[in-house]
Structure 1
Amino acid sequence: MSRTVFCRKYQSDMEGLPRPPFPGPKGQDIFDHVSQQAWKEWLHEQTMLINEKHLNVMDPEAKRFLDEQRDRFLNNENYEKAEGYVPPAHDANK
Protein backbone atom coordinates (compact mmCIF):
# COMPACT_ATOMS: atom_id res chain seq x y z
CA MET A 1 0.00 0.00 0.00
CA SER A 2 1.45 3.35 -0.99
CA ARG A 3 1.63 6.31 1.33
CA THR A 4 1.22 9.98 0.58
CA VAL A 5 3.51 12.78 1.69
CA PHE A 6 3.46 16.51 1.12
CA CYS A 7 6.56 16.74 -1.06
CA ARG A 8 8.74 19.70 -0.18
CA LYS A 9 10.20 19.83 -3.71
CA TYR A 10 6.88 19.85 -5.55
CA GLN A 11 4.72 21.41 -2.82
CA SER A 12 2.06 18.82 -3.48
CA ASP A 13 0.67 15.61 -2.01
CA MET A 14 2.46 12.79 -3.80
CA GLU A 15 3.36 9.14 -3.35
CA GLY A 16 6.02 8.76 -0.66
CA LEU A 17 8.98 6.46 -0.39
CA PRO A 18 8.30 2.93 0.90
CA ARG A 19 11.06 3.30 3.54
CA PRO A 20 13.67 5.85 4.60
CA PRO A 21 16.49 5.96 2.01
CA PHE A 22 19.12 5.67 4.75
CA PRO A 23 19.22 5.52 8.57
CA GLY A 24 19.18 8.49 10.90
CA PRO A 25 17.29 11.76 11.20
CA LYS A 26 18.06 12.93 7.66
CA GLY A 27 16.77 9.67 6.18
CA GLN A 28 13.61 9.98 8.27
CA ASP A 29 13.13 13.60 7.18
CA ILE A 30 13.38 12.57 3.52
CA PHE A 31 10.96 9.70 4.15
CA ASP A 32 8.48 12.11 5.76
CA HIS A 33 8.74 15.00 3.29
CA VAL A 34 10.02 13.85 -0.11
CA SER A 35 8.06 12.06 -2.82
CA GLN A 36 9.22 9.00 -4.72
CA GLN A 37 9.36 11.11 -7.87
CA ALA A 38 11.61 13.77 -6.29
CA TRP A 39 13.89 11.09 -4.80
CA LYS A 40 14.17 9.27 -8.12
CA GLU A 41 15.06 12.56 -9.83
CA TRP A 42 17.68 13.28 -7.16
CA LEU A 43 19.28 9.85 -7.67
CA HIS A 44 19.57 10.64 -11.38
CA GLU A 45 21.14 14.05 -10.64
CA GLN A 46 23.47 12.49 -8.08
CA THR A 47 24.68 9.90 -10.58
CA MET A 48 25.43 12.62 -13.12
CA LEU A 49 27.37 14.64 -10.52
CA ILE A 50 29.37 11.59 -9.43
CA ASN A 51 30.25 10.74 -13.01
CA GLU A 52 30.91 14.29 -14.22
CA LYS A 53 33.06 15.26 -11.26
CA HIS A 54 34.67 11.82 -10.84
CA LEU A 55 33.64 11.75 -7.19
CA ASN A 56 34.74 8.97 -4.89
CA VAL A 57 31.68 8.38 -2.73
CA MET A 58 33.91 6.96 0.01
CA ASP A 59 35.67 10.34 0.33
CA PRO A 60 34.14 12.35 3.21
CA GLU A 61 34.49 15.61 1.27
CA ALA A 62 32.63 14.15 -1.73
CA LYS A 63 29.92 12.85 0.60
CA ARG A 64 29.52 16.30 2.17
CA PHE A 65 29.30 17.84 -1.30
CA LEU A 66 26.61 15.37 -2.38
CA ASP A 67 24.68 15.83 0.88
CA GLU A 68 24.68 19.59 0.35
CA GLN A 69 23.59 19.28 -3.28
CA ARG A 70 20.86 16.80 -2.31
CA ASP A 71 19.47 19.18 0.29
CA ARG A 72 19.51 22.06 -2.18
CA PHE A 73 17.85 19.96 -4.90
CA LEU A 74 15.09 18.69 -2.61
CA ASN A 75 14.48 22.19 -1.21
CA ASN A 76 14.20 23.80 -4.68
CA GLU A 77 17.38 25.79 -4.18
CA ASN A 78 20.14 26.29 -6.72
CA TYR A 79 22.38 23.25 -6.82
CA GLU A 80 25.43 22.35 -8.85
CA LYS A 81 24.42 20.61 -12.05
CA ALA A 82 26.61 18.39 -14.19
CA GLU A 83 28.45 20.66 -16.62
CA GLY A 84 27.77 20.19 -20.29
CA TYR A 85 24.66 18.08 -19.76
CA VAL A 86 21.93 18.85 -22.25
CA PRO A 87 18.61 17.13 -21.61
CA PRO A 88 17.30 15.17 -24.59
CA ALA A 89 14.97 17.14 -26.83
CA HIS A 90 11.39 15.95 -26.81
CA ASP A 91 9.90 15.56 -30.25
CA ALA A 92 6.44 17.13 -30.21
CA ASN A 93 5.39 14.83 -33.06
CA LYS A 94 5.77 11.65 -31.01
Structure 2
Amino acid sequence: MNMRFKGILAALLFSISLGFSGGVLAQEVAPINVNTADAELLAELPGIGPSRADAIIEERETNGAFESAEELERVNGIGPATVDRMRDQVIFE
Protein backbone atom coordinates (compact mmCIF):
# COMPACT_ATOMS: atom_id res chain seq x y z
CA MET A 1 0.00 0.00 0.00
CA ASN A 2 2.89 2.33 0.73
CA MET A 3 4.11 1.81 -2.85
CA ARG A 4 0.64 2.64 -4.22
CA PHE A 5 0.52 5.85 -2.17
CA LYS A 6 3.94 6.90 -3.52
CA GLY A 7 2.75 6.28 -7.07
CA ILE A 8 -0.38 8.34 -6.58
CA LEU A 9 1.60 11.11 -4.91
CA ALA A 10 4.14 11.14 -7.73
CA ALA A 11 1.37 11.32 -10.35
CA LEU A 12 -0.32 14.15 -8.46
CA LEU A 13 2.89 16.16 -8.15
CA PHE A 14 3.64 15.61 -11.83
CA SER A 15 0.15 16.83 -12.80
CA ILE A 16 0.50 19.90 -10.61
CA SER A 17 3.90 20.73 -12.11
CA LEU A 18 2.46 20.47 -15.62
CA GLY A 19 -0.31 22.85 -14.64
CA PHE A 20 2.16 25.45 -13.40
CA SER A 21 4.50 25.08 -16.36
CA GLY A 22 1.62 25.54 -18.80
CA GLY A 23 1.24 29.13 -17.70
CA VAL A 24 4.96 29.75 -17.91
CA LEU A 25 5.41 28.18 -21.33
CA ALA A 26 2.28 29.60 -22.94
CA GLN A 27 2.94 32.91 -24.60
CA GLU A 28 0.58 35.27 -26.30
CA VAL A 29 1.73 35.71 -29.87
CA ALA A 30 1.30 39.07 -31.56
CA PRO A 31 -0.96 38.99 -34.62
CA ILE A 32 0.72 39.05 -38.01
CA ASN A 33 0.04 42.02 -40.29
CA VAL A 34 -0.73 40.32 -43.60
CA ASN A 35 -0.04 43.55 -45.51
CA THR A 36 3.52 44.01 -44.28
CA ALA A 37 4.78 40.58 -43.20
CA ASP A 38 7.49 38.79 -45.15
CA ALA A 39 7.08 35.26 -46.50
CA GLU A 40 8.86 33.66 -43.54
CA LEU A 41 6.45 35.21 -41.04
CA LEU A 42 3.36 34.49 -43.15
CA ALA A 43 4.40 30.84 -43.44
CA GLU A 44 3.95 30.51 -39.66
CA LEU A 45 0.19 30.96 -39.99
CA PRO A 46 -1.93 27.79 -39.82
CA GLY A 47 -2.50 26.34 -43.28
CA ILE A 48 0.07 28.65 -44.88
CA GLY A 49 3.38 27.23 -45.97
CA PRO A 50 6.16 28.81 -48.01
CA SER A 51 4.36 28.63 -51.37
CA ARG A 52 1.10 30.14 -50.06
CA ALA A 53 3.08 32.81 -48.22
CA ASP A 54 4.71 33.77 -51.52
CA ALA A 55 1.27 33.76 -53.16
CA ILE A 56 -0.09 36.13 -50.48
CA ILE A 57 2.76 38.57 -51.13
CA GLU A 58 2.28 38.33 -54.90
CA GLU A 59 -1.47 38.93 -54.54
CA ARG A 60 -1.07 42.00 -52.32
CA GLU A 61 1.61 43.47 -54.63
CA THR A 62 -0.55 42.88 -57.71
CA ASN A 63 -4.03 43.74 -56.40
CA GLY A 64 -3.46 45.84 -53.30
CA ALA A 65 -3.64 45.39 -49.56
CA PHE A 66 -6.01 42.99 -47.85
CA GLU A 67 -8.70 44.63 -45.73
CA SER A 68 -10.14 41.55 -44.01
CA ALA A 69 -9.49 37.89 -43.38
CA GLU A 70 -12.09 36.96 -46.00
CA GLU A 71 -10.08 38.79 -48.66
CA LEU A 72 -7.31 36.24 -48.21
CA GLU A 73 -9.53 33.93 -50.25
CA ARG A 74 -8.31 35.93 -53.27
CA VAL A 75 -5.17 33.80 -52.98
CA ASN A 76 -5.30 30.50 -54.84
CA GLY A 77 -5.37 27.64 -52.34
CA ILE A 78 -6.77 29.64 -49.44
CA GLY A 79 -10.40 28.90 -48.69
CA PRO A 80 -12.87 29.59 -45.91
CA ALA A 81 -11.53 26.82 -43.64
CA THR A 82 -7.98 28.17 -43.81
CA VAL A 83 -9.22 31.70 -43.18
CA ASP A 84 -11.16 30.53 -40.13
CA ARG A 85 -8.05 28.83 -38.67
CA MET A 86 -5.95 31.99 -38.95
CA ARG A 87 -8.60 34.66 -38.34
CA ASP A 88 -7.46 35.43 -34.77
CA GLN A 89 -3.80 35.55 -35.74
CA VAL A 90 -3.88 38.20 -38.48
CA ILE A 91 -4.41 41.94 -38.72
CA PHE A 92 -4.80 44.27 -41.70
CA GLU A 93 -3.25 47.69 -41.12
The answer, yes or no, to whether TM exceeds 0.5 is no
Q: Give the TM-score of the pair, scaled to structure 2.
A: 0.24
Higher relative contact order (CA 8 A, sep 6+): 2
> Which protein has the bigger helix share?
2
Q: Greater CA radius of gyration, 1 or 2?
A: 2
Compare the two structures and name the one with the higher strand fraction.
1
- Normalised by the length of structure 1, the TM-score is 0.24
